[in-house]
Amino acid sequence: MNTRLKELLTNWRVITLVIFLIFALISIQPQIFGNDGVTIRSVEANSSAELAGLQNPSAKLTPLAKEKIISINGETVKTEDDYYRLTDNLKPNRTLRIETDDGFYNLITKETNGIVNVGLKVYPAPTSNMKKGLDLEGGTRVLLKPAEKISEDNLDLTISNLKERLNVYGLSDVVVRSASDLAGDDFILVEIAGVTEGEVKDLLAKQGKFEAKISNETVFFGGKKDITYVCRSADCSGINPQRGCSKIGDGYTCSFFFAITLSGEAADRQAQLTDKLTVLSEEGGSGYLSDDLILYLDDKEVDSLRIGAELKGRATTDIQISGSGSGIDQPDAVNDALQNMKRLQTIIITGSLPVKLEVVKMDTISPSLGKEFLSNIVLVGILAILSVVTVVLIRYRKIKIVMPMVFTIVSEMVLILGFASLVGWNLDLAAIAGIIIVAGTGVDHLIVITDEILKGEVISDWKKRIKNAMFIVFGAYLTTLAGMLPLWFAGAGLLKGFAFTTIVGISFGVLIARPAYAAIIELLLNE
Amino acid sequence: MKNKLKQIYEHKYKVLLIIPFLLLVLALVQIAVQTSITGDFVNKGISLKGGSTITIEDSSINIVELENVLREKFQNADFSVRTITSAGSVVGIAIDSDAQNSEQIDVLVSALKEEVDLEKLEYSVEVMGSSLGKSFFKQTFLALIIAFVLMGVVVLIYFRTIVPSMAVILAAFSDIVVTLAIFNLTGMKLSTAGIAAFLMLIGYSVDTDILLSSRLLKRKEGSVMHRVYGAMQTGLTMSTTTLVAIFVALIFVQSEVVKQIMIILFIGLLVDLVMTWIQNVGILRLYLERKKK
C-alpha cells in the first residue's frame, strides 16, 4: 500500500493537479472562520471621512485587499449593524476614531443639511476573494431622465452609448435598459454591481460633449466620426514624462497625456484654422502660433495646448491630448490623473450622448436572487454530488472508483473558482450555469474513462486503454470548445460569461483534473 | 417483452428512425405555430422582453411572503421582489414583473392592494424595456450557426468521415429544437439563464454522441451491435447520473431561475436519449452497412 501511495504522489499528473489546486486556494483565500468587520465601498468627496485621509477603494483591488473597518472609538465593529449603531446620531464637531486594517483615522464630524454623515458606504467584509455579481450581491440602481423629450432612436443610441461607456470603464456587470412611467415619460434604468456612487454619477449624468477649438471654432468633436483611434497602451498614454508631477500649494498635480488619430476631414479643418494664425516667435527659437488648441468637456475648458509654428496650415492627423489630476500626496495625484485620463478617453471613444441626463433616483438594491440563494445552491450542489455518488456506487460497487471521482469533480470546481478570483471575474448566474455544465460533463468523462479502463476486455495494455478513453474525452472537449468559442466572441453579456466559464472550466478539467483521475484509477485498480 | 424490444431495436432500426425525425418535424411545426400566433418563437420572460417595476416605500413588507402570494395568484407570470436599502436599513421594496401594458399592471396593482395598504403608502410604477439590445437574438443565432459549423468541422477532422460527423451535429441540433418545442408547451417563460441552459445541451449531447461514434467507428472488437451495447452501458450511466442529480436539484432548489435551467436540462437529456440511441445509432448503422457493400 505504501509503495502505491508513493507512486500516486510522484505521478506527474497528480502533482500537476495538486499544484494547480494550491494556486487556486491561494487566489480564493477562503476565510473559513468568517471575516469580522465592514469593508469600505465608497468614500464621499469632501466628507469628514475623506478629509481624514480615507480613500475610495480602487476597483482593481481584490475583495479581501479592500480597506476594512475594525473598530470605531475603541468599540469593535463586527457587523454592518455595529457600524450603523456607532455612526448613527452623531453630533457635529466631535472626533471619531476609526481603526481599519491599514491604520487609524481621526474624523471630525460635520453637519451638512442638518445631518451628520461621515461619508462612508460600507458592506459586510467578504469571506473570500470571489467577486459576486449583480444577481448575487445587489448593487446600485440609478434612474436617469433625459433632460428633454427624445426620439426612440436617440434613446436607443443613448443606452448603447452608456453601456459602452460603462464597459470601457471596466465594469462588466452592468444592466442598462429603457424605462417609462405610466405618463409616458422616458427614463433609463441602470443597475451596477460594486461601484462607488460618485463614480456612477460622474459617468452617467455627464453628457460628455468633447470639443477641441481654435480661436473659438470647432476643430473636432469626441466620437468615432472625427477621431479614428485613441491610444490606451502604455507607450502612448499615461503620466506625461515631460510635465510629470509638481507640488502646488498643499497638494500635488500630475499631468497625463495620450495620443489620438484624427480623421482626414478633422485634420483638414485644423489646417484651415491654423493657417489663419500668426507665428509668435519665442526667445528659444522655436515659435508657437498665436492661438491655442483648447479642449472643452461639457463646455468647460479642460486644457489648452500650444501649437508649434511648424504645424501652421498643415493637416496633421496625430495629436496628443493632455490634462491633469490632483491629490494630497503624489501617489494620490497620479491616481487622480490616470482616472481623469480614463474618463476622457472613454468620452472621446464613445462620443457624446445625444441628450443630457439627470439622476432622478439612486438607491441600493438587494440581489434579485435573494440572500439565501448561495447557501441553497451549495446545499443543492452537495445533494447533487451525493446522488451522483449513489448512482456510480450502484453501477461499479467500488469505493475505490467513487472517492477519486468526487475528488476530481470538487477539484474542478475549485480550479474554476480560483481562476475566477484571479482574473476578478464576477460570480453570477452565467458563472453558476457554467459550473453546472463543467461538473455535469466532468462526471460524463470520468465515467467514460472508468468504463474504458474496466472494460479493456481484449486489451491488456493499460496505456492503450487510457489512450482509448482520452480519445473520446478529447473529441467531446474539442467539439464543445468549437461550440462555445463563437458564443464567447459574438455573444453579449450573459452568454459571453457563460461561454467563458465553460471554456475555462472544461479546459482545466480535460487538461489537468481528468488525466489525474485516470492516473489515480490506474494505480488503484491495477492489481 | 424485453427480448421483443431488443429484437425491434436491433432489426427494425430503419423504421425506428422515423421517431426522432417525426419529433423534429413536430417540434419545428410547434415553433412555427408559436411564432405565427405570438410573434415570438418562445415565451419570453421579464429578462428577455422587459416588464415593469413597482416601487413601494415601506420597510415592513415581508418580501418572501409577498413573493409567494404573488406567485400563487399569477402562476405563469415572472416575478422578482427585492428590497431597497439606504444606510443599512430597508426603506422599501421593488417588484419586478413581466406585466408590460397598463391592463396587466392594473391587475397586478389591485392584487397588491389586497396585501399591502397602497392607499397610504407612496408607490411608483415604471415600465422597463428589455435589458438586452435589439440585436441580441440576431447575434445569438449567428453565433449558434457559426458554432454548429465549427463543431461540424472539428468532428469531421476528428473522425475523417462526413456522414458520422453530420450525425453528431444533427443530434445536437434536434435535441435543442425538440426541447425548445416541449418547453414552449409547458407555458413557462424563458429567462436569459434559460438560454444558457439550451446552450448547455450542446455539451451534454456532444458527450454521448462522440462516445458512440468513437466506439462504433474506431474500435474493431466484436460486432456492431456488441459495440452499440457497450457504448450504451457507458452512455446510460452518464445520462442516469446527470438525470438523478438534476431531479434532486429540482426538488431542493429555491431559485426560480435555477429551477428553469434544471427543467430545460431534464427535458433535453431525455430527448437526447432518443437522439443518440435511436437517431444517431440508426444513421451510423446505415452508414456502416453501405460502407460494407
A56, A83, A94, A239 from A329: Cα distances, Å: 15, 29, 26, 15
Q: Please provide residue A256's backbone torsions phi and psi, each rounded to the nearest 5 degrees.
A: -115, 165
Q: A-chain residues within 8 Å CB-CB of B211?
A: 448, 472, 476
User: Do β-strands A120-124 and A103-108 pair in parallel, antiparallel, or remain unpaired?
Assistant: unpaired
Rounded to an integer, what distance in angstroms lies between the CA atom of residue B36 and that of residue A329?
66
Cβ within 8 Å, pair B203-A455: no
* B66 and A CB contact within 8 Å: no
- The dihedral through the CA atoms of A466, A469, A472, A477 has a sign that is negative
Rounded to an integer, what distance in angstroms lies between the CA atom of residue A248 and that of residue A229?
33
pLDDT in tens, chain A (527 residues): 577 778 888 888 999 999 999 999 998 888 888 888 888 877 777 788 888 888 777 666 778 888 899 888 888 888 888 888 888 778 888 888 889 888 888 888 887 777 777 878 788 888 888 877 777 777 777 888 888 887 877 787 788 777 777 765 555 567 787 777 766 778 888 887 766 666 667 667 666 777 888 888 888 877 777 888 888 777 788 888 777 788 877 788 888 888 888 888 888 888 888 888 887 766 555 677 888 888 887 777 777 777 777 777 777 888 887 778 888 788 888 888 887 787 778 777 777 777 778 877 777 777 766 667 778 888 888 898 899 999 999 998 888 889 999 999 999 999 999 998 888 777 777 788 888 888 888 998 999 999 888 875 555 677 788 888 888 999 999 988 998 888 887 655 567 778 888 899 999 999 999 999 998 988 888 76
The chain B residue lying nearest A156, using CA atoms, is: B133
Q: B-chain residues within 8 Å CB-CB of A489?
A: 143
* B258 and A CB contact within 8 Å: yes
Residue of B61, B238, B239, B251 to mutate, interface with A, max A Cβ within 10 Å: B238
Rounded to an integer, what distance in angstroms lies between the CA atom of residue A441 and that of residue B205?
10
> What are the tens digits of pLDDT across the range A243-262?
778 887 778 888 888 888 88
Q: How much is the pLDDT for B125? A: 79
- Any idea what DSSP says for residue B44? B
Domains of chain A as residue ranges with CATH: 2-30+370-525 (1.20.1640.10), 38-127 (2.30.42.10), 139-364 (no CATH)
- Any idea what DSSP says for residue B119? T
What is the predicted ipTM?
Answer: 0.83
* A246 and B CB contact within 8 Å: no
Q: How far is CA B163 from the centre of its chain?
A: 27
Q: Considering the entire predicted model, what is its pTM? A: 0.77
Find the CB nearest B252 among A176, A380, A436: A380
Which residue stretches of chain B have pLDDT < 50?
none
Q: How far is CA A187 from the centre of its chain?
A: 26
Q: How many CB pairs under 8 A join A and B?
A: 251
Domains of chain B as residue ranges with CATH: 2-44+133-292 (1.20.1640.10), 51-128 (3.30.70.260)
Q: B-chain residues within 8 Å CB-CB of A372?
A: 254
Closest chain A C-alpha to B293 CA, distance in angstroms: 28
Find the CB nearest B143 among A445, A447, A487: A487
Nearest to A182 by CA among B165, B55, B31, B29: B55
* A523 and B CB contact within 8 Å: no
Cβ within 8 Å, pair A84-B154: no
Query: What count of other Cβ atoms lies within 10 Å of the Cβ of residue B130?
Result: 17
Cβ within 8 Å, pair A447-B126: no
Which of B 167-226 lie inside 8 A of A, CB atoms? Answer: 168, 172, 192-193, 195-197, 199-200, 202-204, 206-208, 210-211, 213-215, 218-219, 221
